[in-house]
Amino acid sequence: MEKAKTLFDVIGPVMIGPSSSHTAGAVRIGYLAGKIFGEKPDKVTFRLYNSFAKTGKGHGTDKGLLGGVLGYDVDNENIKTAYEEADKLAIVYSFEYRDDYTRHPNSVDIILENKHIGKMEIGGISVGAGEVAITKINGYKFNINGDYDTLILIYKDKPGMIYRVTALLQGQNINIASMHCDRKAKGKQASMGICVDGSISDYIINELSKIEEVYLIRNIEVLKK
């Protein structure tokens, strides 16, 4: 789905430098990963690949990713001191740098942990000009780029689940802009990423949580751009 060009694609964003792909993009990936995890993590591990790994230090990719997990926008001046900010919140963080040319040049896996949720592994890529995508959550394929409010579900793979979710959205007169499903194996767990026009209400989240064998529900709001 190609986005319509706007004036503000070429003037702006107002951001912390030096690189739209390696700094602002990193902030956005971290931000989305933090929202998908949904709680304050105790521990975060960032596994950076290829160009992110090679030039990340000089571009502040590490600080951008961490700042994003802390909930910062791309123009937050605390990005530069993200290490110190994370220390204050007692979040343990570490970075690993790897080469893997089967991966996108600017990619990262973020492993977030706390006692309540356990561990989540979220993969993201920075595709240029500050545009990003979350491509994987716990091994399931997604394509979340922050252009829409997005509903994320991981649930038991069984007949009727997609119907129940989309019927619930339809009942609230919500239009689905795009939808992406994945599963690891028949009858095991499956995933759904649904981008919608407008927003997803607390009522919908509440109703979804009543469906049995839904393991993860997240509502990721559109990114401020």
Binding mask 24-63 for another protein (x = CB under 8 A): x--------------------------x--xx-xxxx--x
Q: Is 4 in the site for another protein (CB under 8 A)?
A: yes
Ramachandran quadrant class, 142 (left: phi over 0; alpha: psi -120 to 50; beta: rest): beta
Residue whose C-alpha is closest to residue 179's, from 169, 168, 193, 167:
193
Q: Is 46 within 8 Å of 83 (Cβ atoms)? A: no
Choose, by CB under 8 A, the member of 40, 42, 45, 75 that binds another protein: 75
Regarding 80 and contact with another protein (CB under 8 A), the answer is yes
Q: Is 15 in the site for another protein (CB under 8 A)?
A: yes
When the beta carbons of 24 and 112 are compared against another protein, the nearer one is 24
Stretch that binds another protein, among 3-11, 142-150, 161-169, 178-186 (CB under 8 A): 3-11
Q: Residue 27, SS3?
A: helix
The verdict on 147 binding another protein (CB under 8 A) reads no
Site for another protein contains 84 (CB under 8 A): no
Nearest to 19 by CA among 48, 62, 49, 50: 62
Stretch that binds another protein, among 27-35, 77-85, 168-176, 181-189 (CB under 8 A): 77-85
Helical packing angle, 25-37 and 61-69, nearest 10°: 30
**165 lies in the site for another protein, by CB under 8 A:** no
Cβ-in-10-Å burial (0-12, 13-18, 19+) of 156 comes to middle
Q: Which tokens in the block code for residue 154?
A: 């991981």
What are the backbone angles phi and psi of residue 138, rounded to the nearest 5°? 50, 40
Q: Does 150 bind another protein (CB under 8 A)?
A: no
- Residue ranges in contact with another protein by CB under 8 A: 4-21, 23-24, 51, 54-55, 57-60, 63, 75, 77, 79-80, 128-130
